[in-house]
Amino acid sequence: MSATIARTSDNPLLDFSGLPRFPEIEPGHVTPAIDALIADVRETIERVASAADAPSWDNFVQPLSDALDRLDRAWGQVSHLNAVVNTPTLRETYNANLPKITTARSASSKIRCVTFVSPGRSCPTTRKRASRR
């Protein structure tokens, strides 16, 4: 976990030590937490993508998984609150951060694909859906 995240321990969305602290979460916590967690994901992607060693569970999968799990856990709390509390301020904050989450998750999928696809093959970018008639 990056130093940025460690320094913002007063934000309940960045406390991963136990159960979510829903009563303490306010809309003002969302953007700083999401920005810090996305920065951590990007930092992790850069680190694992530039590693000289062949990708393995310990040097690629686990660090990336841990960073994404923290982002997903925080965003899951925000999504839950948006669904059950849904104040105008929370809704605005949720909607402002949703594109950031989408971009971060998309970037993480691309790095995993590029790293593990055999040379000469391309990453599958879309799945064909069965037509419904």
DSSP letters, the chain, are --HHHHHTTTSGGG--SSS--GGG--HHHHHHHHHHHHHHHHHHHHHHHT-SSPP-IIIIIHHHHHHHHHHHHHHHHHHHHHHHT--HHHHHHHHHHHHHHHHHHHHHHHHHHHHHSPTT-------PPPP--
Would you say residue 126 lies in a domain?
no
Domain that holds residue 74: 3-116
Would you say residue 69 lies in a domain?
yes
Would you say residue 39 lies in a domain?
yes
Would you say residue 86 lies in a domain?
yes
Would you say residue 22 lies in a domain?
yes
Chain mean pLDDT for the chain: 83
Would you say residue 65 lies in a domain?
yes
Would you say residue 132 lies in a domain?
no
pLDDT per residue over 50-68, tens digit each?
Answer: 888 888 889 988 999 999 9
pLDDT of 107 above 60: yes
Number of domains in the chain: 1
pLDDT of 94 above 90: yes
Higher pLDDT, 24 or 5: 24
pTM of the model: 0.77
Would you say residue 125 lies in a domain?
no
